Amino acid sequence: MWGCPVRTGTQTGQHLTGHSCLQITPTGRVLQSMSRRHLGQTSLDQIKMSDDFRRFQDMMEIELGQRFNRLFRGPGWSGCPRDVWKNPLEARMNVACVSHKTVQNDVAKSGSTATTDIQESALKDLKTANPKGRFWIKLDGTDLKPALQESTKGKWNGDPEINCQVQELRSEYDRRVSVVAKLSTNQNRSLFEQQLTSIVDDLDKDKEWLQDFLTKTINVYRKKSETPNTSEETLKGLNWEIVEISNFIQQSQQLKDIYEDLLRLITPDNPDTRTVTTRHKTQEADTRRYLTGLFKKKRQPAATHVLVIMLSDEERKRKPYALPVQFIPYHSLRDQWIRDLTRKLKERMAFHGLTVVGTVTDGEFSTLRTRGETRPLHIWQLVHDARDSVSRMKKDTLKKILVQIGVNVEGTPVTEIEDPAIPPTVITKLHNLQDDMDFTDAIHHIRKDLIPEGYTYHTWRAHVPESELDMLRSIVATYRFRARIRELQREGVDFSRHLYVPEVDVSTGQVHHEREDHNHILKRIAKHTRDGGHTDIDVRRFDEAMKAPEANLTHAALVGERKQSVGDAERLLSHAVKKFFLKKGYAAEAEYVKVIADWHEASDGRGLSQSARKAANEAMLNYILDQWMPWHRENGDLSMIDINRRVEGLCGFSRETVIGITTNIESQEARRLLNPAHGPEHPRAGTTDDVECFFAILHSKTAGQPVTLKDFKQWWRKLVLQFRERMATDRPFYYWSLNERYKEDEYASFDVATDEVPRLHQLRFRRREDSSIIAAGRAFLPARHRPTLRQRLYKFAVGLPPVPENWQAHVQHVLNTGHS
């Protein structure tokens, strides 16, 4: 609805016809100018709001909520007699503008959808705002309130997107509800008989499905109850699941008896259809409730997380850096499903003329960085494939590959099983060695030749001396690994010099990089440090650092109280801690912290040159290779790596961490070679902080509480529109809503320092948390993120209620007998 304008020409503060409360103050005159052209109009058809002001008001309500619009616009005709509605002169307005309902309609018409489809309108806006941009696809997830819901209109919400059975269940549910509804209408006997028979058959299938579901639940309960660390809440939930399934089994049997009785009333001799209709009208509501509950069981599990996909410019010269383009609710995800999802997005980006650089994900999607769509991406995958190819081979088969049985006319040795990966010189040498020693000693001699002289090889099975079979597997797998590297070299992919080589994407025809979020890697490194997995590091010396004020290390950062805190990880592995270790003469610990701190600063610090960032990355890579391939400084050919050297435990890191670090470094350095053509990328281009920012905005709208999928969809459309408006080039107003200095020009290069002391070199003391300094009244200093007593009392998670005693005996009976 359109509002009534504010009238002018009277004294300040005077209430005028039209009941305006707006006073003519300097602020009021600004608001008056928006409404002056509407003066004297008596019909809403004569009032039109400018498109500029309308866009401004839409964004104001999206940012501040409906309460803002109520105060800004005024009550309008609320509380007025119905006969004066839509009369502008009778509206009680502050500023003439559209209503909340009209703003909702504007959002609905904006092109942003509340579905899981790709936001095509956002892609178009991104192309308009940054036509020459190069974009990263960034994915990250946040938790939802699990809730399988059904609205009064019958719409389902809360299901995972990748649950392929939801559509089938929905079709089955609609069919069964339709059959139940038709029974309450007058029909002929044959239709009644057909529908009742269908319901009885469905109830039989329900009982069979429920019995199977009960058996699975019992097995899960027994397995969980035998696990010592299973929570009480989990066991309680499984108890309730058994109770509910048993109840559904009883209901299905009762409903079957009822519908069989109705079926007997419509025999061909005496078809009493009226009685069937009358009785079923009283039964229909119970049957509908049964179907609703049953299909909630069939729809399980509910979506517990939502994956948000954003596109981020690699240069990040203007805010907003990223634009949300898709969301996917899920319960669990597989790496291949992420590939399929991003493939569709890349195809749509190529259609709109947007350049895709790569994808950034978390550490749980590690195989995205090891195996591509057409070939391996990481040398670890080549090692894994080579070892896997021989892991099930028997000794006799391996001997047939290596033992010479003759020589062909060209003088090349012949074996019973020809393997082109095995060099003929190796077969010949093994054959000649057996003139002076037995086969086992000859194999051991060949085995030692796989690594440079002076180094010790790793065994096929960790910490287990190699048998003859293990040595044969090591030899064949090593040469298959080296042959695969040579094969890829002929295709232009050089794994002899790089641990990770990106592939050309089949969707875009361009080189596509796969990276892991840098900050997730840093937090994982901090965890590995606390766990003490690095054999050369004494973690007790970090405790000494905590007691020194100059190290600026807090107890919370040392023990990892906030496991998801990047700031705590930076404090644990900081330049200040490195200086403390150097002062104490702890060389190994100082080198470890220095390498990690420099590597982190190369991807997150301001004021470093491109050459300094490259040097820090190379130092980190060499630090890992010193343990993975100790001879790499003498011979940098990575095909000479010992394939039996486990990646797990390198520098105390996990396999995912090693893959993430090496992939990011190789990808960054490959991109740095393109600086003359495309300019340097922003150091934080390989992080998902853009998506974290989106989640922070969402949680600010919901008071920090997780939302259901239904609520998320309502917010999604508004937030996408908000990001699109901030990025728009034709925006008629200044979009400034964050506590930051407003800037329309491009940001300065991240290589240019803005502070005398770089952020990661500054000492920021926390008087409450830092135990190395004396702070008066420490217990009464303000604590960060501490909830109030009222919040702790009223805002706690309410768990499941205990199973009633009358049902507990039934649960025990079901567990003992295996059926309801």
Of 13-17, 252-256, 604-608, 731-735, the range with the lowest mean pLDDT is: 13-17
Strand partners, 140: 308
End-to-end CA, the chain: 59
Average pLDDT over residues 587-607: 95
Burial (0-12, 13-18, 19+ Cβ within 10 Å), 533: middle
401 vs 477: CA distance, rounded Å: 12
What is the per-residue pLDDT for 230? 87
Closest CA to 708 of 156, 28, 119: 156
Interatomic CA distance for residues 233 and 288, integer angstroms: 30
Q: Which residue has the higher pLDDT, 40 or 449?
A: 449
Relative to beta strand 503-504, strand 511-516 is antiparallel
C-alpha to C-alpha distance for 413 and 428, rounded to whole angstroms: 7
Structure tokens given for 286:
């119970």
Q: What is d(CA 309, CA 313) in angstroms, rounded to the nearest whole number?
A: 13
Answer yes or no: is pLDDT of 703 > 90.
no
The one-letter amino acid at 425: T
SS3 sequence of 228-289: CCCCHHHHHHHHHHHHHHHHHHHHHHHHHHHHHHHHHCECCCCECHHHHHHHHHHHHHHHHH
The span from the CA of 495 to the CA of 515, in Å, is 18
pLDDT surpassing 80 at residue 811:
no
Give the integer Cα–Cα distance in Å for 539 and 527. Answer: 12
Question: Picking from 148-152, 163-167, 378-382, 478-482, which range would have the lowest pLDDT averaged per residue?
Answer: 163-167
What is the model's pLDDT at position 9? 35
Which helix (H) or strand (E) is 655 found in, with range? helix 655-672
pLDDT above 90: residue 798: no
Output the six-digit token pair for 409. Answer: 């006319």
The predicted model gives 556-578 an average pLDDT of 92
Q: What is the largest CA-CA distance in the chain?
A: 118
Backbone angles phi, psi at 239, to 5 degrees: -60, -45
Tokens of 381: 């995958």
State the Cα–Cα distance between residues 134 and 131, nearest whole angstrom. 9
Percent of the chain with pLDDT over 90: 55
Report the pLDDT averaged over residues 139-157. 90
Which range scores top for mean pLDDT: 49-58, 240-249, 258-267, 573-582? 573-582
Q: Quick one: what percent of the chain has pLDDT higher than 70?
A: 91
Angle subtended by helix axes 165-182 and 273-299, to nearest 10: 160
pLDDT at 21 (0 to 100): 41
User: Quick one: pLDDT at residue 41?
Assistant: 60
Q: Is the predicted pLDDT of residue 739 greater than 80, yes or no?
A: no
Burial 701-726 (b: 16+ CB within 10 A, else e): eeeeebbbbbbbbebbbbbbbbbbbb
Q: Residue 36 pLDDT more than 60? A: no
Across 101-204, where does the E strand assignment appear? 134-143, 149-150, 156-157
The tens digit of pLDDT for each residue in 503-523 reads 999 989 999 999 999 999 999
pLDDT of the residue at 444: 93
* Residue 451 vs residues 474, 481, 627, 647: alpha-carbon distances, Å: 12, 14, 14, 17
Average pLDDT over residues 613-624: 96
What element of type H or E holds 558? Answer: helix 555-559
Question: How far from chain centre, in Å, is Cα 759?
Answer: 28
Give the residue from 612, 614, 641, 644 showing the smallest Cα distance to 629. 641
Rounded-to-integer distance, Cα 352 and Cα 330, Å: 28
Report the predicted TM-score, pTM, of the whole model to 2 decimal places: 0.88
pLDDT tens digits, 262-280: 888 887 776 777 888 888 8
Token pair belonging to 365: 């999607």
Q: CB within 8 A of 556, min separation 6: which ones?
A: 562, 565, 568, 769
Q: How far is CA 737 from CA 62, 100, 718, 722, 740, in A?
A: 11, 20, 15, 11, 8
Token pair recorded at residue 723: 């990001």
pLDDT at 706: 85
- Angstrom CA distances, 492 to 386, 487, 527, 636, 751, stand at 20, 9, 38, 18, 32
User: What are the E-state strand segments in 261-411?
Assistant: 305-313, 322-330, 355-361, 404-407
Q: What secondary structure letter does DSSP report for 314?
A: S
Report which residue type is found at 404.
Q
Mean of pLDDT values over 757-784: 73
- Give the pLDDT score at 28: 40
The confidence score (pLDDT) of residue 25 equals 40
Inform me whether the pLDDT recorded for 715 exceeds 80. yes
The 3-state DSSP class for residue 590 equals helix
Residues across the chain: 820
Is 271 or 218 the better-scoring residue by pLDDT? 218
CA dihedral 303, 61, 68, 54 (to 10 degrees): -160
Q: What is the mean pLDDT of the chain?
A: 87
Helix, strand, or coil here: 403? coil
Considering only CA atoms, which of 542, 537, 650 is closest in space to residue 588? 537
R_g of the chain computed on alpha carbons = 35
Q: Alpha carbon of 461 to those of 400, 474, 533: distances in Å?
A: 23, 10, 20
- Within 8 A by CB and 6+ apart from 673, the residues are none
CA distance 40 to 46: 10
Check if the beta carbon of residue 91 is closer than 8 Å to that of residue 109. Answer: no
Q: Are the C-beta atoms of 719 and 107 separated by less than 8 Å?
A: no
What would the two tokens of residue 360 be?
A: 């950034």
Phi, psi of 430 (to 5 degrees): -60, -40
Spatial contact of 486 and 413, defined as CB atoms under 8 Å apart: no
Q: Which is nearest to 134 in space by CA: 431, 511, 597, 605?
A: 511
d(CA 493, CA 512): 14
So what's the pLDDT on residue 10? Answer: 34
Q: Which residue has the higher pLDDT, 36 or 667?
A: 667
Residue 160's Cβ-count burial label (10 Å; 0-12, 13-18, 19+) is buried
How far is 341 from 326, CA to CA, in rounded Å?
Answer: 10
Element (H, E) at 383: helix 379-390
Task: Report the pLDDT averaged over residues 429-434.
Answer: 92
**Is 70 exceeded by the pLDDT of residue 783?**
yes
Output the CA torsion 479→484→486→488 (10° steps). -170
CA neighbor of 382 nearest in space, from 393, 370, 373, 390: 370
18-33 average pLDDT score: 41
Name the nearest CA neighbour of 284 among 185, 207, 200.
Answer: 185
* 33 pLDDT more than 50: no
User: How many other C-beta atoms are found inside a 10 Å radius of the C-beta of residue 459?
Assistant: 16
- Report pLDDT for 3: 36
